[in-house]
A and B are shown apart, each in its own frame.
Chain A
Amino acid sequence: MSERRASRFNGAGLPQGGTGAGSPPVLRGDPHRSDETIHRVRAVIRSHGVPTVERGWPPPPAPHPPTAAQLAASFKENGRLVLAVPGPDTDRQPYEDGRDAMTPRAGAHQPYADGADQGTRVGTWQSHGAATEPDTRVWVTVPSCAAADHEAGCRCVPELTQTFLHTVLPGWLVAAADTRLRTAMRAYQEHYAPVDDLTAVGALTGAFADVLLADCVVGAASDSLSAGTGSRALPAVCGHLVPRLLRESAEELIPLNARRRDGSLARSAYDFSAAREGEALMAAAGPAGARLSQLLAEFQPGSADRELRLLGREFRDFSGLPDGRDPAGRSFRELIRMLNRELRGLERRRSYLGGPTPGSPDPAALAVADRLALLAAAACGLGRLRLTGNDTERAWLLLALTRVLRRLGHSTPRLPRGQVGLVLKEVIVRDREALAYDLSRERIDLEIGSTA
């Protein structure tokens, strides 16, 4: 890993105590930078759907986790790639002694105990006592067509397994959203475009903007994880927010498909079920309640200081934005000011994040953490814009930021004329030219679901 990449996420090299204006980007991930595994897996998911989640298959590889060679052999034999992740651990104490939920406890069974190369094994970290209890691990399998170099996609250090899944599984869901958008796009062109249905345009463009924003979060979280800074805030945001963003966007598309010839009820029931596939997939990364608790833990005082500082820097930096005299530039500045105001409001409410609470977490603290997650998503989008901004990217990001602010409960200013049109045009072009509906914009073969 390069120094440059590592420094972006641990704050090294950034001006100390500065306002952040004009500083280097801090939340700018690119999920398609060079990881061929991501390309391959996404290409498969686009046409075949998200992987299945199975319990109890294959038999647990006791007493040690499988090596990469064993995995590869299993993969060739069974046509599936396996990730073993810890199941629910009722003994885990998220706030005990200031440690977070992912820190292995004293006495926990540690994998890699045989001194083998750690990088070639899949983590199967178990809690203490797991050896005498029923196996609670979850096995995630991916389609066999994503075979080449597959082990790179699942390699991770054991204590980061769940954090890893909070990043990689939402990335798969972004790929799965491709088919939904494409289907809705065709329904739009067949039934809604001729009558100029503005609600349909809003649903289609809004869902597209949400998918791209979700991909920005996945990218930034992947970068954060790859940088190995130990910060798990962005993976936590990714695991919590991306499945929800994608589910909401999918639900918004349901009515578009309801006029198809194959019957609206069958279609909408299918779409509704598909919209919630993310919940089923994310179950492999632990229950949603645990994800929220982890998110909350990442925003505790101390940890939150750093995360909030990074967010604040992003919301004070207007570099890379269109000129303020441009309508889009004015809109960006207004939306960013609103985001900054929201952040300052949350800083005042940080007492809610003060300390551990007995029993279930405080709902007010969870609400604050949820708001911080939305702000982090907006910051990831802004980072993407400053990295590669063109008119279309600005348009979808304006729309995405507007929707983030609406989710935060704010009334937002009307978008400048033509911005939604630009987004709609991009949705149409991507369908016509078979380009992926994610940040990569890569050409895909719709028949076999692989990159052309």
Chain B
Amino acid sequence: MTQGPTPALYAARGPDDLEVARIRKELEESRCIVVAGRTEDWWPHGTGPDAEDVRVLLGADRARADRQPTPERRIRFIVSRLMLRATAGALLGADPALFEVAYTVTGRPYLRGCDELDISVGDCEGLVAVGLMDGGRVGVDVAPLQPPPLRLPSVEHLLTRHELDRLHAARPSARHPLLLRFLTLKNSYAKAMGSGRRIPYADFGVATDRDGCHLMGKDGRFYVPGFGAASNNFGSTHLISATGVAKSG
């Protein structure tokens, strides 16, 4: 069966840490790349969220930034857009300020006029990740590894029987990371599809083996071709999951 592109993870400590040649090579090889970095590393030094430079770089996203419910969320939003523009600019050899981040009617972001380069953004406490894919679709989700742990009964309805069996069979200390992996992979799949949580999560599952991550039917048997997924720890603090979908399915 056709395995989709497996996203490659690339950690960067700010825009100056982006190695253009390496990113381009990674994208050429895997066709899907996820750039991740800590919020404090990417925040422009010596500026506040209302600095004119930042607002100019945000462009039409200024209004969205202003609508974020908390200052922390606002900073993460701004950093995600700065990271997205910096990475796209490095890949396409253009000034990051020239890109326009637009949204489909369902809210999925894309780079206006650069439709071939698909994007996805994920963020959580202290970490931002952006996925870019050449000629396909990508979804990225991020979660903190540390507690507060998810309680299984509260998310049981999001898992397939196959996944629940695997969780129950796992050592107690391994359950929480495994559960996080399942949920972030499902989130990244839903983001790549552009449908969000409107697809019942209990109707599809994820499985990990030596070959990587796979998408399965709820009976644990149906394997979806054309999709590639990866899930990696970012240091000891976060988990990043990404799904890439090949153009031709």
A255 to B216, CA, bound (A): 18
- Known contacts being A265-B222, A407-B102, A409-B103, is A367 close to B113, with CB within 8 Å? yes
Q: Which residue of A lies closest to B112 (CB)?
A: A367
Q: Which residues of B contact A288 (CB under 8 A)?
A: 115-116, 135
Decide if A363 touches B111 in the complex (CB within 8 Å): yes
Query: With an 8 A cutoff between CB atoms, is B198 at the interface?
Result: yes
Decide if A263 touches B217 in the complex (CB within 8 Å): yes
Query: With an 8 A cutoff between CB atoms, is B68 at the interface?
Result: no
Decide if A272 touches B112 in the complex (CB within 8 Å): no
Query: With an 8 A cutoff between CB atoms, is B200 at the interface?
Result: yes
Query: With an 8 A cutoff between CB atoms, is A362 at the interface?
Result: yes
Give min CB distance, B231 to chain A, whole Å: 18
Decide if B98 touches A251 in the complex (CB within 8 Å): no
- Interface of chain A: mostly helix, strand, loop or mixed: helix
Decide if B193 touches A272 in the complex (CB within 8 Å): yes
Question: A residues 221-278 with Cβ under 8 Å of B?
Answer: 244, 248, 251-252, 254-255, 258-259, 263-266, 268-269, 272-273, 276
Query: With an 8 A cutoff between CB atoms, is A366 at the interface?
Result: yes
Q: Which residues of B contact A359 (CB under 8 A)?
A: 93
Decide if A363 touches B92 in the complex (CB within 8 Å): yes
Query: With an 8 A cutoff between CB atoms, is B154 at the interface?
Result: no
Query: With an 8 A cutoff between CB atoms, is A69 at the interface?
Result: no
A268 to B215, CA, bound (A): 12
Give min CB distance, B33 to chain A, whole Å: 18
Chain A CB within 10 Å, residue with most, of B104, B112, B215: B112
Binds A, one of B12-20, B47-55, B173-181, B241-249: B241-249
Give min CB distance, A414 to chain B, whole Å: 15
Decide if A264 touches B100 in the complex (CB within 8 Å): no
Query: With an 8 A cutoff between CB atoms, is A360 at the interface?
Result: yes
Q: Which residue of B lies closest to A269 (CB)?
A: B224
Contact of A251 (CB < 8 Å), options: B111, B195, B215? B195
Decide if B94 touches A251 in the complex (CB within 8 Å): no
Contact of A279 (CB < 8 Å), options: B193, B194, B247? B247
Query: With an 8 A cutoff between CB atoms, is B203 at the interface?
Result: yes
Give min CB distance, A160 to chain B, whole Å: 24
Give min CB distance, B34 to chain A, whole Å: 20
Decide if A407 touches B105 in the complex (CB within 8 Å): yes
What is the 8 Å Cβ interface bit string for chain A, positions 330-346, against chain B (1 contact, 0 not)?
00000000000000000
- Known contacts being A206-B105, A264-B204, is A363 close to B93, with CB within 8 Å? no
Query: With an 8 A cutoff between CB atoms, is B60 at the interface?
Result: yes
A407 to B113, CA, bound (A): 12
Decide if B115 touches A265 in the complex (CB within 8 Å): no
Query: With an 8 A cutoff between CB atoms, is B218 at the interface?
Result: yes
Query: With an 8 A cutoff between CB atoms, is B126 at the interface?
Result: no
Q: Which residue of B lies closest to A252 (CB)?
A: B106
Q: Which residues of A contact B116 (CB under 8 A)?
A: 287-289
Number of contact residues on A: which range applies?
A: 35 or more
What is the 8 Å Cβ interface bit string for chain A, positions 2-14, against chain B (1 contact, 0 not)?
0000000000000
Q: Which residue of A lies closest to B104 (CB)?
A: A248
Question: B residues 110-126 with Cβ under 8 Å of A?
Answer: 111-116
Give min CB distance, B221 to chain A, whole Å: 11
Give min CB distance, A176 to chain B, whole Å: 15
Total contacting residues, chain B, CB less than 8 A: 41
- Known contacts being A264-B204, A265-B215, A289-B116, is A362 close to B98, with CB within 8 Å? yes
A247 to B223, CA, bound (A): 24
What is the 8 Å Cβ interface bit string for chain B, positions 131-149, against chain A (1 contact, 0 not)?
0000101000000000000
Question: A residues 354-387 with Cβ under 8 Å of B?
Answer: 359-360, 362-371
Query: With an 8 A cutoff between CB atoms, is B199 at the interface?
Result: yes
- Known contacts being A263-B203, A370-B112, is A280 close to B94, with CB within 8 Å? no
A370 to B114, CA, bound (A): 9
A151 to B108, CA, bound (A): 41
Q: Which residues of B contact A251 (CB under 8 A)?
A: 104, 106, 193-195
Decide if B105 touches A409 in the complex (CB within 8 Å): no
Decide if B203 touches A265 in the complex (CB within 8 Å): yes
Chain B CB within 10 Å, residue with most, of A251, A288, A359: A251
Give min CB distance, B112 to chain A, whole Å: 4
Q: Which residues of B contact A360 (CB under 8 A)?
A: 92-94
Decide if B218 touches A276 in the complex (CB within 8 Å): no
Query: With an 8 A cutoff between CB atoms, is B44 at the interface?
Result: no
A244 to B114, CA, bound (A): 12
Query: With an 8 A cutoff between CB atoms, is B182 at the interface?
Result: no
Q: Which residue of B lies closest to A274 (CB)?
A: B249
Decide if B98 touches A409 in the complex (CB within 8 Å): no
Query: With an 8 A cutoff between CB atoms, is B43 at the interface?
Result: no
Contact of A363 (CB < 8 Å), options: B100, B193, B245? B100
Decide if B203 touches A254 in the complex (CB within 8 Å): no
Decide if B113 touches A292 in the complex (CB within 8 Å): yes
Q: Which residue of A lies closest to B115 (CB)?
A: A288
Decide if A273 touches B113 in the complex (CB within 8 Å): no
Decide if A362 touches B104 in the complex (CB within 8 Å): no
Contact of B249 (CB < 8 Å), options: A272, A368, A403? A272
A178 to B29, CA, bound (A): 37
A363 to B11, CA, bound (A): 25
Q: Which residue of B lies closest to A289 (CB)?
A: B116
Decide if B93 touches A258 in the complex (CB within 8 Å): no
Q: Which residues of A contact B (CB under 8 A)?
A: 199, 206, 244, 248, 251-252, 254-255, 258-259, 263-266, 268-269, 272-273, 276, 279-280, 287-289, 292, 359-360, 362-371, 403, 406-407, 409
The 10 closest A-B pairs by CB, nearest first: A366-B113, A255-B198, A273-B249, A265-B204, A264-B203, A364-B98, A367-B100, A367-B112, A367-B113, A370-B113
Known: A265-B224, A288-B135, A363-B113. 9 other contacts (CB 8 A): A251-B106, A251-B194, A258-B203, A266-B217, A273-B226, A287-B116, A367-B102, A370-B112, A407-B105
16 contacts between A and B (CB under 8 A): A206-B105, A248-B194, A254-B199, A255-B198, A258-B199, A259-B200, A263-B203, A263-B217, A269-B215, A364-B99, A367-B112, A367-B113, A368-B113, A371-B112, A406-B103, A409-B60
Q: Which residues of B contact A (CB under 8 A)?
A: 60, 88, 92-94, 98-100, 102-106, 111-116, 135, 137, 193-195, 198-200, 203-204, 215-218, 222, 224, 226-227, 245, 247-249
